[in-house]
Structure formats: structure tokens, C-alpha cells
Amino acid sequence: MPNDATEREASTRREYVKFTGAAATAGLLAGCTGGEGDDPETAQEATSTAAATDDATDTATADDGYEVSMEPVGTVAFDEVPASIAPFTADYVDMLVALGHADAVESIWFRGRYKTLHYDHLDGVSIDLDDLTQLWNDGVSKEVFYEMDADLHLMDPNALTSWLGVWSEDDVAEIRENVAPFLGNLIFRRTDDWHDYRYYSLYEAFEKVAAVVQERERFEAIRSVHDDLVADVQNRLPPESERPDAALMFAGTEPDEFTPYRIDGGGANKEHFRTLGISDAFAGTGVEGYSGSESLDYEALLEIDPDSLLLRYHEEGMSREEFEDTVVAYMKDHDVGSQLTAVQNDRVFRGGPIYAGPLHNLFMIERYAKAYFPDEFTEDELFDHDALADVITDGV
């Protein structure tokens, strides 16, 4: 960090990004303790008046540019599109890639949490993970923010203060004033006590990011692909009584215990399961979500005996075939695990990314529709991959 604070502030302050809001007061030091089994409908949303004001700000024209408003930060005014943007979670990185601004991405909080296999199905769409600054290194250093010198920090500041508990409000204020503003909202789950301000759905947050980089037409085109896919899939689903439930859990490559994660806990990273009508096998069992309960062994899982299992945290980038040859094979050889209905019926699946952006979401809907309902969804592609790639790479 530069020694001369005055020189540092003068050299790093953005001339074309003007902060006009105020950072929200940080909530409880929650860390990772939000119970994923909480009812998402009880999470506090903004009032309709506040939401209308928030959304209207994006369409208003600032004197010398444009403004974007998003809780908890407030309104940020831009003279032009920021050339370098520092996201925190992978859902926001995926939004920038989708909008054709992968080159602007500076950071990711942890590389291993950013799943990029879906880009292999989109010609010309990619991002080099090695080029991204990993923000987490036994904590998050302010020095890294000075070194990146980004034009915008696309992250909920409460992710640093209240979720991970690595910064104080003074730290946030320092980086905001000396480097660049923050803008973002933690959307991947809806179960943190400290998140007492408006939540955004995946596409509500995506629309905010589109406003930041002035890509309304690309956003609308991708939303149209999403809406058409959802409508088509839901029209073809079997009756609700014939849809399986699922136990979403964290597990190792040779799993002997499982940490539950609640599908019905809300948040953007489970929207694809809700689209497909996959219900939560832990509902009504007393099993809470991630960090809210003890790990489950095979005996406890057999008492619940879910129709299907969705397992996260196995080896990064593992293909379906590798997953079957390692994780599933281990469970089939386990004395108790082999008795699970999901194992016997070959309904043990990879759990998908924790931080799912709009492109993740499209491919997860496609993947799980074909996995859960193979007799109905027999096409190689449930949406046009090439057309989507053209929107991302060439615009509309």
C-alpha cells in the first residue's frame, strides 16, 4: 500500500465513476453460519416503494452519464462504462461474461468456486482464470484492491464485513474513497440474518449489471432465451406428484459423511432446481442447512432416503463419467450407502456450482432436466447454444 496517502488518493480515484450512495451498516458477524433451511419467504425484502425507486434509478439519466442503484450501497453515477471491474463471487463474473465484458473482469474471491465448463459449449466464449486476481488468501487484503485499482467493485460490501468477517466498515470506506465504489448484493442464498435489506433474484441482479455496462439489448436477448427455456421445460414436466425430491449436500470424493444444504432455502444458486420442481428431501425432517446442523452419516441419510442426491464439493471440474467412477462407485460399494434408493436407482448427481450466474443457470436447467426426466428431454440441446454464443460475442 502506498506510503503517501494523499498521492495514493489522487492517483487512484476514478474520474469517471462517482459514488453517490452510502454503504449500508454492516449486520451481525455471520461468517458462514446462515441456516440454509430457513424459509426464504421470511427473508426481509424491500418495500414495493423502495424497489420501485431502486429500479427507476437505472433508467434515469445523470447530468453527465447514467446512474445505477442497488441495495445495500445505494446509487452510483457513471460518466462512462467502467473498463475494469472487480467482482467477488462467480455469479457476477458469469454476468459480465454473458454481457460480453469478460475482458473487464479483474477478480474472483476463490478460483475453485468458479465453474467454467459451460463455456466449452459456447463458441468464442471464455475467460482465463489465471488472469483473475484471487481475493481470498487466508483473508482478504486491502493491498490487493489497491494493486488491482479497478474502476468498480462489483460486490456486496457486507460480503466482506458480515459474511466472511474479514473487513470492518472503515476498511470498506477506505477502499471506496481511495480506489472505487462498491455495487452489488449477495444473491446466492437468502438465509443470512445480517442480510436485512432487499434481495434480488438472479435476473434482477443481472439486469443491474447490464445497466452498469450499458448492455440492455444483450440482457434482453439472454433473458428471452431463459424465459423460452423455462416455459418449454415446465410445459413438459410430469405432474408434481411424479417429480422426485432431492437431498442437496456437500461431500468428498469418497463420501462417508454429508453436510446438508437446503434446496428450499432460496437464493440464485438453486433457481434451476425450483424451475424443475425438484422438492427438498430435508423439508419437515428437522435437518437444517449448511453450518446449521451436524453432518449426516449414511445411517441418518437412509432414514430420510431421498429420491435423489445432489452432491457438491467433489473434485473441481469433474465430468459426469469421472463422478460416476469415483463418488458414485464408492457409494455403491458402501454397505449402507448401497441401500439408498437414490444409489440403487442411479439418481446420484453432481450438485452444480454454488455461485450460479445466468449462463450457469441455463446449462443447469438443461442438465438437470435431462438427468431427472430422460424420457421426456431427449434432445442434445434444450436451447440453441450457438445462438446464445452469438449474442454474447457479437451482440444483438
Tell me the domain boundaries of the chain: 5-215, 223-394
Cis peptide before 72 (omega within 30 of 0): yes
Other Cβ atoms less than 10 A from the Cβ of 220: the count is: 13
* E strand or H helix that includes residue 62: strand 61-62
Compute and round to an integer the Cα radius of gyration of the chain.
21
Superfamily of domain 5-215: Nitrogenase molybdenum iron protein domain (3.40.50.1980)
Look up the pTM and report it. Answer: 0.86
Superfamily of domain 223-394: Nitrogenase molybdenum iron protein domain (3.40.50.1980)
What cell numbers appear for 366 in the block? 438443461
Other Cβ atoms less than 10 A from the Cβ of 8: the count is: 15
Amino acid at 264: D
| Sequence-separated (6 or more) residues with CB below 8 Å from residue 335 | none
Task: Say whether 223-394 and 5-215 share the same fold.
Answer: yes
Which among 40, 34, 37, 33 is positioned nearest to 283, based on CA atoms? Answer: 37
pLDDT for position 112: 85
Amino acid at 16: Y
Q: For the chain, how far is it from start to end, CA to CA, in angstroms?
A: 42
Cα–Cα distance between 69 and 126 in angstroms, integer? 29
**Residue 149, φ and ψ in degrees, nearest 5:** 55, 45
- The pLDDT tens digits for 314-357 are 655 688 899 999 999 999 999 999 999 999 999 999 999 999 99
Cβ distance 66 to 211 under 8 Å? Answer: yes
| Residues of the chain predicted below pLDDT 70 | 1-57, 59-63, 290-293, 314-317
Cα–Cα distance between 121 and 107 in angstroms, integer? 23
Cα–Cα distance between 283 and 358 in angstroms, integer? 27
